[in-house]
């Protein structure tokens, strides 16, 4: 029996630079103490107050099928939040609640790409992007961004590959680079989308984690509201990664079709999870800032540790829970450095190559352990890089 090429092609084959991650996991399983700075999982769990709301909802009976598009209360809360943050009029019919941002990314591309269409994304990229595009039957095409421009995609680079493409996927604040796209970058993106008639899929799951500058949602830019689908999530903003609750915000007709898709795929998100998410959003921005604060602090600590040396350089990390470090002065590529660091210091970081070709010669460090341990590990990384650079 043959499987569909659509499903067998999702990963595109190859290790994608995740070998060091799996090696670290095997070392931990074998009893070696490894400092894990690989994946983007908060060290805290979902707050007791949110869990209490979830428990009360479930015990109160919200355990049956929930409304497929999302509960009115949560759709309204998300719409109000987006309207307040962007100034763009938004109502609940602009919102589809999804099982996390990842399901939103998939649904947004199903909605915009036909089989065989070209879908653009920016390199470096969040790991699932090319696979998500292949999973909907689209052909992924990368826009290579450069460390010289802070990994911000420029109009010319987009226009050069836009040709027959139908969509562009962007992510700000960015995983893995920590870049927060500035007004000029986003104007260029908006212009490229209009000049080349592209849908814009804007992954904003880190929109509460901005350390420098401000998050700008491109849906609010002139001419963009009818061609932009924004993907959001409770995962990062409220430490609810396991609850699987996020959304897509877009034009009414697009959301209408995406509700049909949800009816035939996910059939919605658990009602008690949605009630907990609505409760969490009602706690306001202080609760979001409390979840973001450790990363804000550690990003400042990162800059302190890196001060006064030139061997390891941080790409200006303006947001999200990661820093991308340029280790090219060691003479190693990201994968070589990450493997050597794991062997020498039992510290696991992600090679830049795991996130595409543009981040070669870099490693991504997740700021997801307590401050002292984080500073200690980063200092060891810098010392190790220095020892390589002077060999
Ligand atoms: N987009 C980006 C850039 C991410 O880093 C992640 C998770 N790491 C997601 C989307 C998906 O998040 P979730 O499905 O948990 O909302």
- In tens, the pLDDT along 183-227 reads 999 999 999 999 999 999 999 999 999 998 999 999 999 999 999
DSSP H or E stretch at residue 80: helix 72-86
pLDDT value at 273 more than 90? yes
Instruction: Please answer whether residues 87 and 220 qualify as being in contact, where contact means their C-beta atoms are separated by less than 8 angstroms.
Output: yes
What's the domain range around 28? 5-44+287-389
pLDDT at res. 53:
98
Helices and strands counted in the chain (H then E): 13, 12
Report residue 204: phi and psi, to 5°: -120, 35
Span of 15-19, 175-179, 267-271 with lowest mean pLDDT: 15-19
Together in a domain, 213 and 319 = no
Q: Do residue 169 and residue 242 come from a single domain? A: yes
102 lines ligand 1 (CB under 6 A): yes
Q: Which residues of 190-219 are buried (b: 16+ CB within 10 A; e: fewer)?
A: bbbbeebebbbbbbbbbbbbbbeeebbbbb
The total number of structural domains in the chain stands at 2
Burial 303-320 (b: 16+ CB within 10 A, else e): eebbeeeebbbbbbbbbb
Q: Give the pLDDT of residue 42.
A: 87
User: In a mutational test of the pocket of ligand 1, which residue from 131, 177, 235, 324 has the highest number of ligand atoms less than 8 Å from its CB?
Assistant: 235
Question: Does 291 lie in the same domain as 281?
Answer: no
Q: How confident is the model at residue 40 (pLDDT cuts 50, 70, 90)?
A: confident
Mean pLDDT, range 146-156, rounded to an integer: 93
Residue 247 and residue 382 in one domain = no
Secondary structure (DSSP) of 303-356 = HHHHTT-SSSEE----BSSEEEEE-GGGT--HHHHHHHHHHHH-EEEEEGGGG-
Tell me whether strands 199-203 and 165-171 are parallel, antiparallel or unpaired. parallel
Going by pLDDT thresholds of 50, 70 and 90, the confidence category of residue 391 is low
How many angstroms is it from 205 CA to the middle of ligand 1?
6
Q: Give the pLDDT confidence of 67-125 residue by residue, as tens digits.
A: 999 999 999 999 999 999 999 999 999 999 999 999 999 999 999 999 999 999 999 99
Query: Does the Cβ of 71 fall within 6 Å of ligand 1?
Result: no
Rounded to the nearest angstrom, the distance between the alpha carbon of 276 and the centre of ligand 1 is: 19
Nearest protein CA to atom 5 of ligand 1, as residue: 175
Nearest Cα to 188, choosing from 215, 209, 168? 168
Spacing, Cα 194 to ligand 1 middle (Å)? 27
Answer yes or no: is pLDDT of 16 > 80: no
Residue 361 phi, psi (nearest 5): 80, 10
The beta strands (E) that lie in the chain are given as 35-37, 95-98, 118-123, 139-144, 165-171, 199-203, 228-233, 246-249, 313-314, 322-326, 347-351, 362-366
Average pLDDT over the chain reads: 95
Cβ of 204 below 6 Å from ligand 1: no
**Mean pLDDT value across residues 351-369:** 94
- Domain match, 206 and 63 both: yes
Are residues 134 and 151 both part of a single domain?
yes
Residue 324 and residue 352 in contact, taking contact as beta carbons nearer than 8 Å: yes
Structure tokens at 24: 């670290």
- In what helix (H) or strand (E) does residue 138 lie, and over which residues does it extend? none
Q: What's the CATH code of the domain at 365? A: 3.90.1150.10
Residue 311 CA to ligand 1 center (angstroms) comes to: 31
If asked whether residues 173 and 304 sit together in one domain, one would say: no
**CB distance 335 to ligand 1 below 6 Å:** no
**DSSP classification of residue 92:** G
Q: Which residue blocks in 87-169 are alpha helix, DSSP H? A: 100-112, 129-135, 155-162
Q: Do 82 and 26 lie in a common domain?
A: no
Predicted pLDDT of residue 184: 97
Q: CA distances (Å), 328 to each of 266, 348, 362, in order?
A: 44, 18, 7
- Give yes or no for residue 236 having a pLDDT over 80: yes
Mean pLDDT to the nearest integer, 293-311:
95
Mean pLDDT for the stretch of residues 225-236: 98
Does 143 have pLDDT greater than 90? yes
Shared domain check, 69 and 211: yes
- Give the least confident one: 57-61, 172-176, 351-355, 369-373: 351-355
Q: Give the end of a domain, one of 285, 318, 334.
A: 285
Secondary structure (3-state) at 250 = coil
- Name which residue leads in pLDDT, 15 or 183: 183
235 lines ligand 1 (CB under 6 A): yes
Q: Given pLDDT bands bounded at 50, 70 and 90, which one contains residue 389?
A: confident
Q: Is 354 left (phi over 0), alpha (psi -120 to 50) or beta?
A: alpha
Distance (angstroms) between ligand 1 centre and the Cα of 101 equals 6
Question: What pLDDT score was predicted for residue 19?
Answer: 85
Checking if the pLDDT of 252 tops 90, the result is: yes
Confidence band for 371, pLDDT divided at 50, 70 and 90: very high
Mean pLDDT throughout 304-310?
94
Return the residue whose CA atom lies nearest to atom 16 of ligand 1.
101
What mean pLDDT is predicted for residues 23-47?
Answer: 92
pLDDT at 267 exceeding the cut of 90: yes
Is the Cβ–Cβ distance between 224 and 193 less than 8 Å?
yes
State residue 14's pLDDT score: 58
Indicate the top mutation candidate among 96, 175, 240, 244 to test ligand 1's pocket, ranked by most ligand atoms within 8 A of CB. Answer: 175
Ligand 1 nearest-atom number relative to CA 241:
15
Give backbone dihedrals phi and psi of 231, rounded to 5 degrees, phi first: -105, 125
**Boundary residue ending a domain (285, 316, 333):** 285
Neighbour tally for 137: CB within 10 Å: 18
Shared domain check, 103 and 240: yes
280 and 291 belong to one structural domain? no
Please tell me the predicted confidence (pLDDT) of residue 316: 77
CA distance 141 to 117: 10
């Amino acid at each position: 029996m043959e499987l569909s090429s659509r499903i067998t092609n999702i990963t595109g084959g190859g290790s994608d630079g995740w070998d060091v991650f799996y090696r670290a996991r095997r070392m931990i399983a074998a009893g070696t103490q490894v400092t894990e700075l690989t994946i983007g999982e908060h060290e805290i769990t979902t707050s007791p107050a949110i869990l209490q709301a979830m428990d009360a909802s479930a015990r109160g009976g919200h355990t049956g099928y929930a409304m497929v598009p999302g509960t009115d209360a949560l759709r309204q809360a998300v719409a109000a939040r987006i309207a307040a943050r962007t100034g763009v009029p938004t109502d609940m019919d602009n919102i589809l609640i999804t099982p996390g941002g990842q399901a939103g990314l998939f649904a947004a591309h199903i909605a915009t790409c036909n089989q065989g269409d070209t879908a653009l994304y920016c390199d470096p990229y969040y790991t699932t992007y090319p696979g998500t595009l292949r999973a909907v039957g689209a052909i992924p095409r990368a826009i290579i961004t450069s460390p010289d421009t802070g990994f911000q995609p420029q109009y010319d680079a987009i226009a050069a590959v836009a040709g027959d493409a139908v969509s562009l996927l962007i992510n700000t604040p960015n995983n893995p680079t920590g870049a927060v796209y500035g007004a000029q970058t986003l104007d260029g993106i908006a212009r490229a989308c209009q000049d080349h008639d592209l849908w814009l899929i804007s992954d904003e799951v880190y929109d509460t984690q901005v350390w420098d500058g401000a998050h700008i949602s491109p849906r609010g830019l002139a001419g963009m509201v009818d061609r932009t689908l924004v993907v959001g999530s409770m995962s990062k903003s409220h430490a609810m990664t396991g609850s699987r609750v996020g959304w897509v915000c877009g034009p009414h007709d697009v959301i209408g079709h995406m509700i049909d898709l949800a009816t035939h795929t996910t059939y919605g998100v658990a009602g008690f999870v949605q009630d907990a998410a609505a409760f969490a959003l009602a706690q306001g921005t202080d609760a979001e800032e409390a979840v973001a604060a450790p990363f804000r602090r550690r990003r400042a600590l990162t800059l302190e540790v890196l001060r006064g040396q030139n061997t390891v350089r941080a790409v200006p990390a303006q947001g999200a829970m990661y820093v991308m470090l340029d280790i090219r002065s060691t003479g190693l590529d990201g994968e070589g450095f990450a493997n050597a660091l794991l062997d020498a210091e039992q510290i696991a970081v992600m090679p830049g190559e795991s996130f595409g070709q543009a981040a070669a010669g870099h490693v991504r460090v997740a700021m997801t352990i307590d401050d002292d341990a984080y500073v200690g590990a980063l200092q060891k990384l810098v010392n190790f890089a220095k020892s390589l650079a002077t060999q």
